[in-house]
Structure 1
Amino acid sequence: MPPALREFILHWGDLGGQWGVNRSVAQIQALLYLSDRPLHAEEIATCLGIARSNVSNSLKWLVGWRLIERVPVPGDRRDHFVAETDIWEMVLRIAESRKEREIDPATAVLRRCVRAGGEDPRVGKVARQRLEAMLDFMETTDRWYQQMVCLPKAKVFALLKMGSRVVNFLSAVKKSPGKRRSDAPDSAPTPSGRT
């Protein structure tokens, strides 16, 4: 394997560990992402030096998260796998899975705690306010996420590429609501969306 590809796969595995994903899972996903053809489990195990049983479990996990899929290969009865290679789709699938497994349950607990805390005189004002603030943040983030996933990919990338212009626009609006300040940067878009 070329050193550049090996370095990417190893680093992706390390990143996976930091994100709470098994290192082998992340390495397999990286290998399949870089591969120009479908690979079967034995090839993956040999290439990465990972036990076949670990590869099998990791493949199930990746299929469950819809980051890879099984594909047929003519003349070969073994399962072969390919990775999702559209980066935006990968990010969406990871975000969706993490949201369902982590964010949604946490938000549900916060809603129950806010409701119960509001009815319980033993819960102090500060604790209630902090629970409400956290719930507001979670719900606002969820609404933003729902809006972003509904946008066409081209619009999301256009928004991302605007970068500092969005920040400059928001700063200009905050300084002078309702009209554009003369000292706002020229590159900041106006409320109508024109620059």
Structure 2
Amino acid sequence: MQDFILHWGEMGSKWGLNRSVAQIHALLHISPDPLTAEELAATLNLARSNISTGLKELQAWRLVRTTRQLGDRRDYFTAIGDMFDLIQTVIEVRREREYEPTLNALREIQGRAEQDDTPPEVRARIAETYETMQMLDDWYSDIAQLPRSSQMSLLKVGSKLGALLSGSASKPKKKKKKS
């Protein structure tokens, strides 16, 4: 459990999350029961204020939910348990925070570049960048609307198709170690 939490904290810091925020998420992710902020602070040996700040950030990422229990005034916290839902949530939040604003900015920049003295080569590069990013976003939106079973089938087919197109279909795949 400790190794998982420590690794998740390291991984989170590489993805732009504060290490302690990622550790809070890790503990909630592997915990079979909802935990209070006090339980999180005690288990992780972090200040209560650090836990509170981390929980707010995780809620902003939509990775943690708050619940209540009858007769108890404390908040209980749970993380998204299903890995597929977790990954989809992270992708969707990052899309909203990072990708969509970039698409909007590129659209505006492209429009202005068409009307000013921007060199044609630069305009073409801006247009190519915008069109490629928009195509990827449209693809993501189409895939995200599919039912989970269809998404899983696409993942499996995509892996086989990638191997086929790269010419490695005849090469045996390396088995991953199970820990």
Q: Which TM-score bucket, shorter chain as reference? A: 0.7 to 0.9
Unaligned runs of 5+ in 2: 171-179
* Residue of structure 1 aligned with 2:133, choices 131, 134, 138: 138
Unaligned runs of 5+ in 1: 173-184, 187-195
Matches within 5 A, 1:1-195: 5-121=1-117, 123-167=118-162
When normalised by structure 2's length, the TM-score is: 0.87
The structural deviation recorded for 1:76 is: 2.5
Name the counterpart of 1:191: none
SS of residue in 1 equivalent to 2:98: helix
SS of residue in 2 equivalent to 1:28: helix
Aligned alpha-carbon RMSD (Å): 2.0
Change (3 A) 1:41 1:164: closer
Per-residue CA deviations over 1:31-60 (Å, capped at 9, x if unaligned) read: 001001110001101111211101001111
Residue identity (%): 41
SS of residue in 2 equivalent to 1:82: strand
Count of matched residue pairs = 170
- Report the structure number with the largest CA radius of gyration: 1
